[in-house]
């Protein structure tokens, strides 16, 4: 009996992270009252620059940026060289809050968003309650 198994990419597929990422850019995001960046596929890396006049909270869930599980990027006004960060993470969404001008650039893998099972038993995305914000 033969089994027709189709090999496909997933989170542990090394090759998806060894090649250059497909570019994704979104600029001048107004996250004063919150904003979500949804990526069309899983990220290989993310670069975030805060050009705004207020600090920007960055998290991987809405609970992360409204709670205690976020990364803060200081306000820069116009010089993001000291107010930016590059993250090597597998993510499908990014949550921003606080700044009036944030740029996000990412390198995307060929892994579809649907291949990530990031839903907890309670039915919610990464809540941020356990350090994943």
Strands in 71-73's sheet, in edge-to-edge order, are: 35-38, 93-97, 56-59, 71-73
d(CA 23, CA 13) in angstroms, rounded, equals 19
Q: What SS3 state is found at 84? A: strand
Residue-level pLDDT, tens digit, the chain, 133 residues: 556 666 667 666 666 766 778 899 999 999 999 999 999 998 999 999 999 889 999 998 888 888 888 999 998 766 655 688 899 988 889 999 999 999 999 999 888 887 775 554 444 444 455 544 4
Predicted pLDDT at 39 = 92
The pLDDT value recorded for residue 19 is 74
For residue 82, what is the DSSP state? G
Tokens standing for residue 132: 């994943």
Tokens representing 14 are 């090394």
**Cβ neighbours of 123 (radius 10 Å):** 6
Pairing of β 84-87 and β 22-29:
unpaired
CA angle 89, 83, 45 (to 5 degrees): 15
Secondary structure class of 97 (helix, strand, coil): strand
Q: What is the CATH architecture assignment of 29-111?
A: Sandwich (2.60)
Whole-angstrom distance, CA of residue 76 vs CA of residue 51: 5
Query: In the chain, what are the domain boundaries?
Result: 29-111
What's the token pair of residue 73? 């990027």
């Amino acid at each position: 009996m033969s089994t027709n198994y189709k090999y496909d990419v997933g989170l542990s597929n090394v090759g998806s992270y060894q090649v250059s990422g497909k570019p994704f850019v979104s600029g001048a995001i107004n996250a004063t009252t919150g904003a979500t960046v949804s990526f069309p596929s899983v990220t290989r890396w993310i670069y975030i620059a805060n050009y705004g006049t207020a600090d920007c909270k960055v998290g991987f869930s809405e609970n992360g940026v409204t709670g205690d599980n976020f990364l803060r990027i200081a306000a820069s006004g116009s010089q993001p060289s000291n107010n930016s960060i590059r993250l090597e993470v597998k993510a499908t969404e990014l949550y921003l809050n606080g700044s009036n001008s944030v740029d996000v650039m990412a390198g995307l893998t060929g892994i579809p968003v649907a291949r990530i099972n990031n839903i907890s038993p309670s039915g919610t995305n990464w809540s941020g309650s356990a350090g994943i914000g």
